Amino acid sequence: MMLFAERASDIEIWYDGMIRSITDVMINYPKYINKIDLLKKAVEKFNAVDSWEIRRKIWREPCVIIASAGMLKGGPALYYLKRVADKKNSAVFLVSYQGKNTPGRMLLEKGVFVENGPKVSSRVEWFDFSSHAGVSGLMSIIKSLKSLHKIIIVHTDPDVGEEFRRRIVEETGIEVALPSVGDVIDL
């Protein structure tokens, strides 16, 4: 949002999904946000999608829609993608990591977001923006918390999670769980 606030002038911009509540949190804790004035400018200048009526209408007109996606496994971005996928004059820009076997990764690698589905005609691009901390940042947080007894790693590819688990154990000695779906973990 802040990039658009900084660079886009005459474009109508909407934002939809979890970004609405996260933006509210960020504005309420300005000391943790770089360029908070730019974020405030975005909120003042852009339009929040707050109803299905608006959601059904805006994708039909020229505009930018910033929508949460969850690697295209859910969220409003999937709603919009389904409506613009066959439009050559539209573009879909994905940001951050797209996990293996997710619709987001499939869209980037195969040009479809449903297995054996039709090719997406819209322009598709990926930008390496992430709202997640990297391994170094996470290790710094872990080492700064002195009373940790157990860490549970979630929301990762299994190979990456296993490597991260090993590193935590080697560098801190803290017990680490890397659960699979359905696993039960004692706390």
Same domain, 11 and 71: yes
- Quick one: pLDDT band at residue 131, thresholds 50, 70, 90? low
21 and 85 housed in the same domain: yes
Tens-digit pLDDT profile for residues 38-74? 999 999 999 999 999 999 999 999 999 999 888 899 8
How many domains does the chain fold into?
Answer: 2
Same domain, 103 and 49: yes
Residue 26 belongs to some domain of the structure: yes
In a shared domain, residues 16 and 98: yes
Residue 186 has pLDDT above 70, yes or no: yes
The pTM for the full model equals 0.73
Do 68 and 156 lie in one domain? The reply is no
Nearest to 102 by CA among 152, 156, 55, 153: 156
Asked if residue 183 is part of any domain, the answer here is: no
Kindly report the CATH number assigned to the domain that includes residue 100: 3.40.50.10890
pLDDT tens-digit map of 144-169: 988 889 999 998 888 889 999 999 99
- Mean pLDDT is lowest, of 68-72, 102-106, 132-136, 176-180, for 132-136
User: Can you give the residue range of the structural domain that contains 163?
Assistant: 135-177
Residue 97 placed within a domain: yes
Same domain, residue pair 94 and 57: yes
* Residue 187, domain member (yes or no): no
Could you tell me the CA-to-CA distances from 146 to 2, 139, 165, 174, 177 in Å, in that order? Answer: 35, 12, 18, 10, 18
Using DSSP bridges, classify how beta strands 47-48 and 150-152 pair: parallel, antiparallel or unpaired. unpaired
Q: Is residue 59 included in any domain, yes or no?
A: yes
